[in-house]
Structure 1
């Protein structure tokens, strides 16, 4: 690929105007334009002629000849410029595009190529443009990993739309939370938005289980299970953040914190701690 640099114009005495030189491909392209216009006329006003078997064949031949003219005029693929690619494999992207150097640029079916690109697991959307005379421009928007979804006893990588991105080789995404529940990916964006209001606490959440398709249980990095309510989970999360900030509740010897009741806090402690609390005078 070439890097084209526009140099600043030097301050010189104004010269006599020169005749503008057209690119070499412009004049042959004028002939090609006539042929393409003829094709458009066949498709528009002369539709009734297509009842003859010879007309489609003639039109296809005419189109092929027109594309050959554009190719001879220099309108061929020399570069594929891709923007937005991060995780999408470059080799796979080019293979799916199915474009070769020297192909007629105007002969590329950009809509079909776009659909093929959007079938790639990492590609959420794609835009393809022909940029005369030699470049096929591709801009893709990649899917953003949201979480690992436990499905059929296996973890898969999903995005915020619940679309499965990867089924294998997910070790690099082990830092993402694990979602459990059939509808968990669909409901997770709202939950994660709530959790982000307390980022330090959010970073300690290892898994989220959707219970009864209505509310969430959170598993923290130290094994503590936190139960959020169906109504106002954001308020309960803010309450937990305050408890952690002021009392370090997650550092206590507890196994579960139930936030489903707005007027009280229910805490379940470890069996050894419960036994010690029942018998404070005995050394266990």
Structure 2
């Protein structure tokens, strides 16, 4: 510091605070060197979402194609079949074999048909019996309406069958066959069922169910129906009391139920069967056409009298 005058003082650089002391030079700060990146031998792949989706599709397609090839080759079937056969053999060795077969409800169905339909022999693995397939084969038999199969372990099969019940005799081409309410033909002998109503004509068995439902509305008169002929597969002609000489009633194609009730009312009120009437035509609701034959009526009366004596 130097004085210029009494009032002016000039401060020089040497007069700054601390210039008289020895100071250690400030330590310079240096930035740390960046760590060198580790290089790998494989390239880094950057895939877009579309490329990833395409890759997944390629993998899925390859799996599907491979599975299809295996399936078409039959390898899957063979492996499954061999594994199933091995399991059945193990179960049979453990005692799960068919040792007894019982049948409930059989009346007319031949035993041989049941055995063939069941397709199972004594000693076969009981777990190998396909219940659904055997049931379907049993119900395909002409005389069987329904069937059930029960496995009773360790070695019994129990069959319950419901046979078709004959409700009429169907005459076709000079031959007679039993039919059930649904019109199914029941093979076998007709002995013991000769007194069933006789149905004749094309389509008669298939329409027997509706015929018997109609007849049941008038039970007293229905008991006297001995034959029903299907005419042109359109309508019915009925025979009362006797197949050949009985009273013939011709029902219409349309609304035969009303004509049947009308016939029952006429029989109750007028007793047509006791007269010489042999045919009554009910096909026209407003009209009533009757035909008489004294000889046929006499034969019918004699037949009825013979039936009462028996």
TM-score normalised by the chain length of structure 2? 0.65
Distance 1:257 1:53, change over 3 A: closer
Please give the alpha-carbon distance, in whole angstroms, between the structure 1 residues aligned to 2:281 and 2:147: 45
Counterpart residue number, 1:206? 226
Please give the alpha-carbon distance, in whole angstroms, between the structure 2 residues aligned to 1:230 and 1:257: 15
Cα deviation code 1:173-209 (max 9, x no counterpart):
2122221221122222112111112222112111111
Q: Is the 8 A contact 2:99 2:122 kept in 1?
A: yes
Helix, strand or coil: the match of 2:101? strand
Distance 1:117 1:55, change over 3 A: same
Q: 2:268 aligns with which of 235, 245, 259?
A: 245
1:143 aligns with 2:164: yes
Q: How does 1:20-59 map to 2 (within 5 A)?
A: 49-50=70-71, 56-59=77-80
Please give the alpha-carbon distance, in whole angstroms, between the structure 2 residues aligned to 1:54 and 1:188: 53
Q: Is the 8 A contact 2:278 2:296 kept in 1?
A: no
Instruction: Quote how far apart the aligned CAs of 1:83 are.
Output: 3.5
Counterpart residue number, 2:277? 254
Counterpart residue number, 1:229? 252
Please give the alpha-carbon distance, in whole angstroms, between the structure 2 residues aligned to 1:273 and 1:172: 29
Counterpart residue number, 1:175? 195
Please give the alpha-carbon distance, in whole angstroms, between the structure 2 residues aligned to 1:61 and 1:100: 21
Q: How does 1:96-107 map to 2 (within 5 A)?
A: 96-107=117-128
1:61 aligns with 2:82: yes
The alignment of Structure 1 onto Structure 2 pairs a total of residues equal to: 229
Please give the alpha-carbon distance, in whole angstroms, between the structure 2 residues aligned to 1:270 and 1:200: 25
Q: Is the 8 A contact 2:276 2:294 kept in 1?
A: no
Instruction: Quote how far apart the aligned CAs of 1:250 are.
Output: 1.0
Q: Which runs of 5+ in 1 are unaligned?
A: 1-44, 275-284
Please give the alpha-carbon distance, in whole angstroms, between the structure 1 residues aligned to 2:265 and 2:231: 25
Counterpart residue number, 1:110? 131
Q: 1:190 aligns with which of 210, 213, 216?
A: 210
Instruction: Quote how far apart the aligned CAs of 1:271 are.
Output: 5.3
Name which one, 1 or 2, has greater alpha-carbon Rg.
2
Greater RCO between the two (CA within 8 Å, min separation 6)? 1
Distance 1:250 1:74, change over 3 A: same
When structure 1 is superposed on structure 2, of 260-269 and 190-199 the one drifting more is 260-269
Instruction: Quote how far apart the aligned CAs of 1:82 are.
Output: 3.1
Distance 1:160 1:272, change over 3 A: closer
Counterpart residue number, 2:107? 86
Q: Which runs of 5+ in 2 are unaligned?
A: 1-65, 298-310
Instruction: Quote how far apart the aligned CAs of 1:125 are.
Output: 2.8
**What do you get for the CA RMSD once the two structures are aligned?**
2.8
Counterpart residue number, 1:7? none
